[in-house]
């Protein structure tokens, strides 16, 4: 041990004499990190991103980002003497002529899918537990931007091999741009260097994909982590765990070992996926040919909802001064991302308006304890999943053996009906769970022992919770809907802020009007006096009778 | 635990700023205090501790073996054919992929699993509690920071010297323009505007219709009822092998020839002689967002785009019958030349592909 400390000590001594490192280390080396499985989702995103960077650097050593036209003479015989771009040919080279090249391509693609899935799941975790509340709004915004950048990184990468699927994806992007009024054709012309597809696009996407977007992601990830570090992680409430402390394991060694180990586990799982499950075998699709498409083509999962929106949007186009406005493309391809991202980015402030509170929140919410937020989240998931199903409507038509148009119509109607329904059902489920928690605290847990009284009345014995168990169900804050107060004061003078207060109170009532409150101390005490004490006494008799 | 009106940070600025609440009732259960976890088996049982130690070391050792195995497989599983003429054997590539991936993936996984197991079962760190401090600076610091800023502003005279301020703001507002202007040459700056380029293809009067892939001219008699043939204009073959023209026309000019019973065709006024004995030519580029259309249902003459399921009726002038497309498929007027081969009567009479701003009514 002392050898290690001596070795590390020399390094620390060197650094400390130059940048006062010990001061920082002293405060941070034993920094507390709370532990919960759901905190790992963000780590998966980070670690898969590192894997993407490593495999991506490897791929750049061979990939040729040019659309120069060549006749393929490489090792893959079925494509010999086929005209293709150098980009596609070099992708074949990586796959077939570089040992481990196919593995790294598949690691890169699997890593990207997992990166986006983990970011999405992480974001849902943050949302449902209220971890976006003050003081963490900045990190929520950074997270939203990271998600967008992640999709952009994925899509630009998907386009680079210049195979049939990637070209089709770009064609749809072009169609979406053309729908933009006034400047659409110019934007497309600037992006593609003239007419679609031209021979510039891959050389232009390449620096976005390997430099600009990952650079921005890295910078924002750094900011994200520094803010997290500074603010300290949120934690779940419980005995001894309050809004003003943080309980968990020290950064060094526990968190270093667990998170560092988890990094290797995530990398290992991605490599194992790449080893065993083939992904994007571009040699089967062939080089891009704008006049060819294969049926049943699917984009990567994170673009599926946009593709689905394009599929289910009814035909709608009108003219403004003889110029077409193609709403059937504009709405799903251009407006929808904004419609989703704007409320997502602003959500912390929307909820802050409902709670009207500006305090710091470091305790996570159990989703059931904020039924309206949880309902909104589930409604959004249903909305997203419906669009995602729409993106595979042909696939679902095939497995369900029904016409694809039925699925399209189901989504067209369901997109308006099912999210509100999901909101309502989720809210009711949350309220039910809250009521059960309240009953448990008030009356104890059900024992399954049914008693018959001398009068023939059946009743079930309840066993009281331990104090810790009861505290686990009651540590959350009591959030009451706010009251706007009277419109005029005692002297009949109108309150100038009444209107804004009333609007705020309405929002607050929407959020908290139906919440099942945990019992008060008085309620709890009266519940214990109210016959249940006798029940407990009976149970004591019962247990002594059994002995 | 804090209740609604009590502020856990002791920060008076954070008091709930709005409406009145009923008196918030007391919490039912007082905080029983931190529960420290019970000892692990490895803390009390020397045997269990040694077992855990062996497990962790075993995982690390196995990871080393797998890393060596990775190198061995890299060397012995070749993917390069002995004779370059033979080409690669996909089976070899897959064996290489599998062996390299399994060894590397398991090695990584075991290093990680070993570290986690070490932390969980052997590292002796206790649970730690740290206090949080309000993130907001205290009033004194805030006032000092603000005062410093005001001093600085005062020293520049930024507020008083309006001429300097406004000319600086003007200069800064203009500076991004070069960055935008520099992007102008991303698109071509000579010839037609982007909208004009979309107006035409390389189809023209008398251009023969060639089969796609083989590029052979097509006789009307070669097509059977119900048949569909993908086709390109003969002018396509004249385009240079290199450069973007060829692939750009590939994205604009493809057509589908279909032959159906002449009595099945509902001809729109003005299109009476656009077909040849029930042979019609339609653009293959979907009017929704431009995918090449490809799924033809012979009996109904319906044409489905596989990307977003826009469906067009080829027996009814390419009209949209389902899906998000807003326009009929453009039809190419065709005729027969003196040798009996199919030719175009003209270019398309309207732009092919998706709607765009300049495509006026």
B96 chain-A contacts, CB cut-off 8 A: 99-100, 102-103
Q: Residue A129 burial by CB count (10 A; 0-12/13-18/19+): exposed, middle or buried?
A: buried
Domain count, chain B: 2
Q: How far is A123 from chain B (nearest CA, A)?
A: 23
Chain Cα centroid distance, residue B140: 51
| CATH number for the domain harbouring residue B253 | 2.102.10.10
Identity of the residue in B87, B98, B232 whose CB atom sits nearest the CB atom of A275: B98
SS3 state of residue A81: coil
Calculate what percentage of chain A has a pLDDT beyond 90.
73
Q: Is A246 helix (H, G, I), strand (E, B) or coil?
A: strand
CA distance, residue A454 to nearest chain B CA (Å): 34
Predicted pLDDT at A296: 66
Measure in Å the smallest separation between the Cα of A520 and chain B Cα atoms.
5
Chain A closest-CA separation from residue B159 CA (Å): 31
Cα three-residue angle B229-B231-B237, rounded to 5 degrees: 150
- Domain enclosing residue B109, as ranges: 41-121
Any domain includes B86: yes
Residue B324 lies in a domain: yes
Contacts of A441 in chain B (CB under 8 A): 28-29
CB atoms within 10 A of CB A262: 20
Q: Is A190 on the interface with B (CB under 8 A)?
A: yes
Q: Which domains does chain A have, with CATH numbers?
A: 31-235+245-291+301-365 (1.20.810.10), 428-546 (no CATH)
- Residues of chain A numbered 427-446 and touching chain B (CB < 8 Å): 441
B235 and B339 belong to one structural domain? yes
A vs B, Cβ pairs < 8 A, gives 431
pLDDT (mean) for B142-161: 92
Task: For residues B213 and B327, state if they share a domain.
Answer: yes
Predicted confidence (pLDDT) at residue B123 exceeds the cutoff of 80: yes
pLDDT in tens, A79-122: 999 999 999 999 999 999 999 999 999 999 999 999 999 999 99
- End-to-end CA gap in chain A: 55
Q: Do A477 and B195 touch (CB under 8 A)?
A: no
Q: Which residues 148-177 of B have a C-beta within 8 angstroms of A? A: none
C-alpha to C-alpha distance for A352 and A330, rounded to whole angstroms: 32
Q: Work out whether the CA dihedral A298, A302, A306, A311 comes out positive or negative.
A: positive
CB within 8 Å of chain A, chain B residues 324-353: 324-327, 353
Residues 231-270, chain B: which have Cβ within 8 Å of A? 232, 241-244, 246-248, 250-252, 254
Is the pLDDT confidence value at A539 over 60? no
Shortest distance between the Cα of A452 and any Cα of chain B, in A, equals 31
Compare CB distances from B251 to A290, A356, A477 and report the shortest one's residue. A290
Between positions 123 and 142 of B, the ones with CB within 8 A of A are: 123, 125, 127-132, 134-135
Peptide bond just before A197 cis, omega within 30 deg: yes
Q: Are A539 and A461 in contact (CB under 8 A)?
A: yes
- Asked if residue B147 is part of any domain, the answer here is no
CB contact under 8 A, A275 and B102: yes
Q: Give A409's pLDDT tier (boundaries 50, 70, 90).
A: very high
Cβ-based contacts of A328 with chain B (< 8 Å): 288, 324-326
Contact B291 A168 (CB under 8 A): yes
- pLDDT tens-place string over residues A204-238: 999 999 999 999 999 999 999 999 999 999 999 99
Min Cα distance B165 → chain A (Å) is 31
Give just the sign of the alpha carbon dihedral A239, A244, A250, A256: positive
Domain stop point among B67, B101, B121: B121
Same domain assignment for residues B294 and B202: yes
Q: Which residues of A touch B322 (CB under 8 A)?
A: 405, 408
Nearest by CB to B109, which of A185, A257, A264? A264
* Average pLDDT in chain A: 91
Q: Determine the residue of chain A that is closest to B93 in CA distance.
A: A96
pTM of the model: 0.91
**Angle (CA) B136 B140 B146, round 5°:** 85
B207 with B294, same domain: the answer is: yes
Does residue A60 have a pLDDT over 70?
yes
Res. A493 pLDDT band, cuts 50 70 90: confident
Residues of chain A found within 8 Å of residue B101, distances taken between Cβ atoms: 103, 106, 271-272, 274-276
Tell me, yes or no, if A480 comes closer than 8 A to chain B by beta carbon: yes
Do residues B221 and B95 share a domain? no
Chain mean position to CA B115: 37
Give the closest-approach CA distance of B11 to chain A in angstroms.
Answer: 9
Cα–Cα dist A487/A509, whole Å: 18
Would you say residue B89 lies in a domain?
yes
Residue B129 belongs to some domain of the structure: no
A95 and B93 in contact by Cβ < 8 A?
yes
Choosing from B82, B101, B121, the residue where a domain stops is: B121
Residue B358: partners with Cβ closer than 8 Å, 6 or more residues away: A185, A323, B193, B194, B195, B196, B198
Chosen domain end from B60, B86, B121: B121
B288 with A328: Cβ contact below 8 A: yes
Collapse the DSSP code of B356 into the 3-class scheme (helix H, G, I; strand E, B; otherwise coil) and give the result. coil
For A273-292, the pLDDT digits (tens) are 999 999 999 999 899 999 98
For residue A361, what are the contacts with CB-CB under 8 A and spacing of at least 6? A130, A133, A134, A234, A243
Both B110 and B208 in one domain: the answer is no
Higher pLDDT, B81 or A49: A49
Is B333 found in the same domain as B204?
Answer: yes
B170 located within any domain = no
Q: Which of residues 280-299 of B touch A (CB under 8 A)?
A: 284, 288-292, 294-295
Residue B214 domain-assigned?
yes
Is the same domain home to B115 and B241? no
The contacts of residue A146 (CB under 8 Å, 6+ apart) are: A119, A217, A220, A221, A224
B326 pLDDT higher than 80: yes
Under the banding of pLDDT at 50, 70 and 90, the label for residue A21 is: confident
B6 has a chain A CB within 8 A of its CB: no
What pLDDT is recorded for position A541? 42
Q: Is A370 a residue whose pLDDT tops 70?
A: yes
- A residues 104-133 near B, CB within 8 Å? 106
| Mean of all residue pLDDT scores within chain B | 89
* Same-domain check for residues B202 and B310: yes
pLDDT at B2 over 50: no
Q: Where does the pLDDT of residue A157 fall: very low under 50, low under 70, confident under 90, or very high at 90 and above?
A: very high
Residues 6+ apart with CB under 8 A from A110: A270, A273, A274, A277, A279
Q: Which residues of A touch B130 (CB under 8 A)?
A: 31-32, 232, 245-246
Confirm or reject contact between B105 and chain A (CB < 8 A): yes
- Give yes or no for A97 touching B (CB within 8 A): yes
**Are residues B112 and B206 located together in one domain of the fold?**
no
Pairwise CB contact (< 8 Å): A244 & B242: no
Tell me which DSSP letter residue A120 carries: H
- Whether the link from the prior residue into A253 is cis, omega within 30° of 0, is yes
Q: Is A30 in the B-facing interface, judged by CB distances under 8 Å?
A: yes
Q: Rounded to an integer, what distance in angstroms lies between the CA atom of residue B141 and that of residue B146?
A: 9
Neighbours of B13 (CB within 10 A): 12
Asked whether residue B205 falls in the same domain as residue B336, the answer is yes
User: Do both B209 and B324 map to the same domain?
Assistant: yes
* Model pLDDT, residue B243: 84
- Can you tell me the distance from the alpha carbon of B237 to that of B93, in angstroms, rounded to the nearest whole number? 37
At A95, list the tokens.
Answer: 């796959």
Residue A303 has pLDDT above 50, yes or no: yes
For the ranges A522-536, B42-56, B247-261, which has the lowest average pLDDT?
Answer: A522-536
């Amino acid at each position: 041990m002392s050898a290690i400390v001596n070795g590390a000590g020399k390094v620390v001594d060197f650094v400390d004499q130059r940048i006062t490192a010990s001061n920082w280390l002293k405060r941070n080396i034993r920094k507390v990190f709370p532990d919960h499985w759901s905190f790992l989702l963000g780590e998966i995103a980070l670690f898969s991103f590192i894997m993407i960077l490593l495999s991506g650097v490897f791929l750049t050593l061979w990939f040729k980002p040019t659309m120069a036209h060549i006749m393929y003479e490489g090792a893959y015989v079925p494509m010999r003497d086929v005209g293709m771009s150098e980009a596609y040919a070099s992708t074949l080279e990586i796959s077939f002529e570089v040992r481990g090249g196919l593995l790294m391509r598949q690691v890169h693609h699997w890593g990207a899918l997992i990166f986006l899935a983990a970011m999405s799941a992480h974001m849902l975790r943050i949302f449902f537990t209220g971890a976006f509340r003050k003081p963490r709004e900045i990190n929520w915004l950074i997270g939203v931007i990271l998600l967008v950048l992640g999709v952009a990184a994925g899509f630009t990468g998907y386009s680079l091999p210049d195979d049939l699927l990637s070209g089709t994806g770009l064609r749809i992007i072009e169609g979406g741009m053309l729908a933009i009024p006034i400047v659409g054709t110019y934007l497309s012309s600037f992006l593609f260097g003239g007419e679609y597809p031209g021979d510039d696009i891959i050389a232009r996407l390449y620096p976005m994909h390997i430099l600009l977007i990952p650079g921005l992601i890295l910078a924002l990830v750094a900011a994200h982590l520094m803010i997290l570090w500074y603010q300290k992680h949120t934690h779940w409430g419980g005995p001894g765990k309050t809004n003003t402390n943080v309980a968990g394991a020290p950064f060094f060694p526990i968190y270093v070992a667990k998170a560092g180990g988890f990094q290797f586990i995530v990398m290992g799982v991605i490599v194992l996926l790449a080893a065993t499950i083939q992904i994007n075998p571009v040699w089967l699709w062939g080089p891009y040919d704008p006049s060819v498409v294969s049926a049943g083509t699917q984009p990567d999962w994170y673009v599926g909802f946009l593709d689905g929106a394009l599929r289910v949007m009814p035909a709608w186009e009108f003219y403004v001064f003889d110029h077409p406005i193609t709403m059937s493309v504009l709405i799903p391809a251009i407006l929808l991302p904004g419609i989703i991202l704007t409320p997502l980015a602003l959500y912390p402030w929307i909820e802050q308006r409902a709670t009207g509170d500006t305090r710091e929140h470091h305790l996570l919410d159990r989703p059931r304890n904020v039924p309206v937020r949880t309902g909104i989240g589930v409604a959004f998931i249903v909305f997203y999943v419906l669009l995602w199903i729409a993106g595979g409507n042909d696939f679902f038509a095939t497995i369900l053996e029904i016409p694809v148009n039925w699925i399209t119509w189901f989504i067209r109607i369901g997109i308006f009906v099912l999210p509100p329904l999901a909101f309502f059902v989720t809210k009711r489920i949350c309220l039910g769970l809250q009521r059960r928690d309240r009953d448990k605290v008030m009356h104890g847990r059900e024992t399954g022992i049914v008693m018959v009284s001398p009068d023939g009345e059946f009743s079930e014995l309840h066993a009281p919770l331990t104090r810790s168990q009861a505290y686990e169900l009651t540590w959350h804050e009591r959030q009451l809907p706010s009251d706007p107060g009277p419109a005029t004061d005692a002297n009949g003078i109108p309150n100038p802020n009444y209107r804004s207060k009333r609007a705020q109170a309405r929002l607050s009532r929407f959020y908290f009007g139906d919440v099942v409150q945990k019992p008060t101390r008085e309620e709890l005490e009266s519940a214990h006096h109210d016959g249940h004490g006798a029940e407990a006494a009976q149970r004591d008799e019962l247990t002594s009778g059994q002995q | 635990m804090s209740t609604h009106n009590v502020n856990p940070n002791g920060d008076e600025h954070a008091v709930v700023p709005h409406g009145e609440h009923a008196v918030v009732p007391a919490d039912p259960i007082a905080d029983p205090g931190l529960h420290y976890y019970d000892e692990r088996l490895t803390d009390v049982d020397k045997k269990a501790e040694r077992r855990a130690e062996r497990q962790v070391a075993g995982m690390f050792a196995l990871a080393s073996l797998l890393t060596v195995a990775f190198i061995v497989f890299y060397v012995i599983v070749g993917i390069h054919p002995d004779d370059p003429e033979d080409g690669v054997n996909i089976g070899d590539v897959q064996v290489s992929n599998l062996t390299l991936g399994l060894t590397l993936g398991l090695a990584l996984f075991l290093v990680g699993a070993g570290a986690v197991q070490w932390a969980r079962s052997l590292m002796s760190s206790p649970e730690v509690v740290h206090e949080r401090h309000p993130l907001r600076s205290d009033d004194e610091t805030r006032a000092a920071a603000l005062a410093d800023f005001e001093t600085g502003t005062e020293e520049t005279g930024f507020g008083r010297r309006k001429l300097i301020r406004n000319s600086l703001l003007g200069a800064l507002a203009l500076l991004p323009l070069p960055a935008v202007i520099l992007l102008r040459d991303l698109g071509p700056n000579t010839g037609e505007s982007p909208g004009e380029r979309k107006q035409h293809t390389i189809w023209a009067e008398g251009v023969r219709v060639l089969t796609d892939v083989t590029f052979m001219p097509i006789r009307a008699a070669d097509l059977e009822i119900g048949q569909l043939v993908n086709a390109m204009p003969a002018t396509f073959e004249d385009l240079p092998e290199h450069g973007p023209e060829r692939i750009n026309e590939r994205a604009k000019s493809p057509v589908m020839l279909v032959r159906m019973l002449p009595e099945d065709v509902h001809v729109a006024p003005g299109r009476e002689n656009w077909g040849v004995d029930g042979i019609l030519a339609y653009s293959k580029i979907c009017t929704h967002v431009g995918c090449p259309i490809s799924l033809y249902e012979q009996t109904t003459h319906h044409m489905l785009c596989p990307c977003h399921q826009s469906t067009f009726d080829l027996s009814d002038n390419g009209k949209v019958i389902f899906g998000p497309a807003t326009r009929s498929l453009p039809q190419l007027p065709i005729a027969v030349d003196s040798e009996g081969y199919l030719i175009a009567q003209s270019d398309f009479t309207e732009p092919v592909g998706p709607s765009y701003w300049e495509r006026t009514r």
